Amino acid sequence: MNPVEMIEREQMRADLASFQVGDTVKVHVRIKEGEKQRVQVFKGVVIRKRQGKTGATFTVRKVSYGIGVERIFPSNSPLLEKIEVLSQARVRRSRLYYLRKRRGKAARLKDKNFR
């Protein structure tokens, strides 16, 4: 088989929880500070997932002290400790860029099971 595919396959992370755009997630990232290693948690809404093998990424947005913060994670990075899905939302598009213009109440998402 094509060596590119084989190498990509062995680098993929199958152990991480699956999630969708609109989900509120907690991303646990390993961070190295000098000699020490610790785990940092980034909690927010997934506003974008990019397709790809090892090149896939996803973007998590949160509002921290009134300032919007977005962080892009490689979906298969070995630095990801785990991903927790806290809640799922019903969204009608794959890229939630419109959340950037919204603040507070307007930036809420509908719960997935809400009818």
With contact defined as beta carbons under 8 Å apart, do 92 and 111 qualify? no
**Looking only at residues 61 through 100 of this chain, which bind other proteins when binding is defined by CB under 8 A?**
74, 76-79
53 interacts with other proteins by CB under 8 A: yes
Among 17, 30, 72, 97, binds other proteins (CB under 8 A): 30
The tokens for 50 are 């990019």
Measured CA to CA in angstroms, residue 52 lies from 8, 31, 103, 113 at distances of 10, 24, 31, 29
40 interacts with other proteins by CB under 8 A: no
Residues at the contact surface with other proteins, assessed by CB under 8 A:
2-4, 6-8, 11, 30, 32, 52-55, 74, 76-79
